[in-house]
């Protein structure tokens, strides 16, 4: 009989207090079915505190790390339109595909570590972390040749030759970043599951400052051009990796890190299957908008169209760090509550997270509507690119609004272990509805980049969000809690 079943009587109460220390929380919630307004407001407030204990530091760290990509793209953009297009394809398409799959594969830890932490099986978090490293590093080795052949691959899918050649050069310099993802993503989820996001936030702040200095030195002081921006990003990202690694293995996580263990190599097949399901689920979402950029490269005046769309996607990606932080927070809260056998707590955490994320999404929707003429100045001073971006602002605003809901529902899926199920939904919505509709609007009805984007938003993202919402509303949370306790 497993240790988990031996201690089954000790984990039946809801796991309702999470703090950054081992001390018990001062917040105690009593189950109350009366449902009066006072008790509901108290429950919302306490759940908000728990949720933002994960979401707050996650927003800071994710925005800081993504800002390094934004700074890299901005430095390249002020070198020229070709440099902006080349860096945009390298970072948004090549690294974007890579980022999406590895981020998804690492999210398997949100399910496993979150439920293990909720069940107080603390030592398993370190084992899961090592298994994730093994799987992701193996993936990195197998996919490294893609970076060397990036230029011909981009030409094959219709990208302009000059843009493809420059993107191929940058891609080779991004290989250290490729391996950095494999180390950093599992570490981030390992710490996140223990509510140690403040560590990630501090490390990312330090790396962000390093990146600003390195970018200025390599691009303007030492005149390394677009290659300098790529080198700066590599070095800065490995600052994050070393900072989080040193904290995790050098005494920062005494309950969950017991050293390297041969146990990490057992159960690798089951772990690989869950990682693959998680990877497919999230990468299908992430790749969707990368494909949009590739498709735009086949339009007339492709360089300007790619520049404008890449700026919009970068702004969307920047804001997307907030919903993705809610994705992380919801995954942790749902997994912890299910691991502790508290289905009602998981359901309530989902409701609070969705509502608060929608409110933030509405705020950013308004900001885009009011400041769409000025926001692209971060990336470029080219008048023609600024005008092209301004024409796309309405689609950008609605993409941001939809994305304030969809990642949170995906977070519920990760916390509950539904990754493979959601992967099928994503394939159907994105690639059998949204993508064909985008092609139809863009080429058959001659709407260009606006038609491609509109078709993909309203045909794919909106439909997928509606289906996930229906599934979440119909979920039997007590049954999910029972399943989680049997893992």
What is the tens place of the pLDDT at every residue in 324-370? 888 878 878 888 888 788 888 888 999 999 999 999 999 999 998 88
Q: What pLDDT does 186 receive? A: 95
Statement: residue 12 has pLDDT above 60: no
Q: CA-CA distance, 87 to 170, in Å (whole number)? A: 7
Average pLDDT value for residue range 37-41: 73
Question: Using one digit for the tens of pLDDT, what is the confidence trace for 142-184?
Answer: 999 999 999 999 998 888 888 899 999 999 999 999 999 999 9
Half-sphere exposure of 268 (CA within 13 A, CB side): 13
288 vs 29, more confident? 288
For residue 312, give both structure tokens. Answer: 């919009």
Vertex 193: Cα angle to 187 and 198 (nearest 5) = 75
The 3-class SS string of the chain reads: CCHHHHCHHHHCCCCCCCCCCCCCCCCCCCCCCCCCHHHHHHHHHHHHHHHHHHHHHHHHHHHHHHHHHHHHHHHHHCCCHHHHHHHHHHHHHHHHHHHHHHHHHHCHHHHHHHHHHHCCCCHHHHHHHHHHHHHHHHHHHHHCHHHHCHHHHHHHCCCCHHHHHHHHHHHHHCHHHHHHHHHHHHHHHHHHCCCCHHHHHHHHHHHHHHHHHHHHHHHHHCCCHHHHHHHHHHHHHHHHHHHHHHHHHHHHCCCCCCCCCHHHHCCHHHHHHHHHHHHHHHHHHHHHHHHHHHHHCCCCCHHHHHHHHHHHHHHHHHHHHHHHHHHHHHHHHHHHHHHCCCHHHHHHHHHHHHHHHHHHHHHHHHHHHHHCCCHHHHCCCCHHHHHHHHHCHHHHHHHHHHCCCHHHHHHHHHHHCCHHHHHHHHHHHHHHHHHHHHHHHHHHCCCHHHHHHHHHHHHHHHHHHHHHHHHHHCCCHHHHHHHHHCC
Q: Which of 393, 401, 328, 411 is nearest to 360 (CA)?
A: 401
Vertex 260: Cα angle to 259 and 265 (nearest 5) = 140
Task: Indicate left, alpha or beta for 385 from its phi (over 0: left) and psi (-120 to 50: alpha).
Answer: alpha
Q: What is the mean pLDDT of the chain?
A: 83
Q: Which of 141-150, 217-226, 282-291, 383-392 has the lowest mean pLDDT?
A: 282-291
Q: What pLDDT does 300 receive? A: 65
Contact 411, 327 (CB under 8 A): yes
Q: CA-CA distance, 225 to 358, in Å (whole number)? A: 40
Contact 293, 316 (CB under 8 A): no
Contact 189, 244 (CB under 8 A): no
Q: What pLDDT does 26 receive? A: 36
289 vs 117, more confident? 117
Residue 28: pLDDT band with limits 50, 70, 90: very low
Give this prediction's pTM: 0.74
Question: Using one digit for the tens of pLDDT, what is the confidence trace for 224-250?
Answer: 989 999 999 999 999 999 999 999 999
Q: What pLDDT does 252 receive? A: 93
292 vs 358, more confident? 358
CB atoms within 10 A of CB 82: 17
CB atoms within 10 A of CB 135: 23
Statement: residue 440 has pLDDT above 70: yes
Residue 17 phi/psi, 5-degree rounding, is -120, 125
């Amino acid at each position: 009989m497993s240790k988990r079943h031996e201690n089954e009587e000790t984990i039946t109460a809801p796991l309702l207090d999470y703090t950054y220390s081992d001390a018990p929380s001062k917040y105690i919630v009593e189950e109350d079915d009366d449902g009066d307004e006072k008790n509901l407001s108290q429950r919302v407030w306490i759940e908000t505190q728990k949720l933002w204990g994960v979401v707050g530091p996650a927003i800071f760290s994710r925005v800081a790390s993504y800002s390094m990509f934004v700074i890299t793209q901005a430095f390249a953009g002020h070198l020229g339109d070709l440099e902006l297009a080349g860096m945009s394809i390298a970072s948004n398409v090549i690294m974007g595909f890579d980022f999406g799959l590895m981020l998804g594969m690492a999210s398997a830890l949100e399910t496993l570590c979150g439920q293990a932490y909720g069940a107080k099986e603390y030592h398993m978090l370190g084992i899961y972390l090592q298994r994730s490293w093994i799987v992701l590093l193996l993936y990195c080795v197998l996919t490294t040749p893609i970076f060397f052949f990036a230029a011909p691959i981009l030409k094959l899918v219709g990208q302009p030759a000059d843009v493809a050649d420059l993107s191929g050069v940058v891609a080779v310099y991004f290989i250290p970043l490729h391996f950095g993802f494999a180390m950093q993503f599992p570490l981030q989820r390992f710490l996140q599951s223990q509510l140690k996001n403040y560590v990630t936030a501090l490390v990312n702040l330090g790396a962000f400052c390093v990146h600003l200095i390195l970018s200025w030195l390599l691009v303007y002081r030492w005149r390394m051009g677009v290659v300098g921006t790529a080198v700066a990003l590599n070095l800065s990202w490995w600052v994050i990796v070393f900072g989080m690694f040193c904290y995790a293995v050098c005494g920062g996580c005494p309950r969950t890190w017991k050293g390297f263990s041969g146990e990490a190599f057992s159960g690798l097949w089951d772990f690989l299957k869950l990682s693959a399901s998680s990877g497919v689920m999230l990468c299908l979402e992430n790749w969707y908008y990368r494909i949009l950029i590739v498709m735009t490269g086949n339009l007339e005046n492709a360089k300007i169209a790619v520049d404008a769309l890449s700026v919009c996607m970068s702004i969307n990606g920047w804001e997307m760090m907030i919903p993705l932080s809610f994705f992380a927070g919801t995954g942790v809260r749902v997994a912890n509550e299910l691991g502790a056998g508290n289905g009602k707590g998981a359901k309530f955490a989902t409701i609070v997270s969705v509502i608060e994320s929608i409110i933030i999404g509405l705020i950013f929707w308004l900001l885009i509507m009011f400041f769409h003429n000025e926001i692209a100045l971060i990336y470029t001073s080219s008048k023609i690119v600024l005008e092209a971006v301004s024409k796309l602002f309405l689609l950008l605003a609605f993409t941001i609004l939809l994305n304030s809901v969809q990642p949170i529902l995906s977070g519920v899926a990760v916390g509950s272990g539904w990754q493979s199920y959601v992967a099928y939904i994503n394939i159907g919505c994105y690639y059998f509805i949204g993508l064909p509709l985008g092609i139809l609007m863009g080429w058959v009805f001659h709407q260009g980049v606006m038609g491609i984007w509109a078709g993909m938003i309203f045909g794919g993202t909106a439909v997928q969000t509606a289906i996930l919402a229906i599934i979440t509303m119909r979920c039997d949370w007590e049954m999910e809690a029972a399943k989680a306790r049997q893992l």
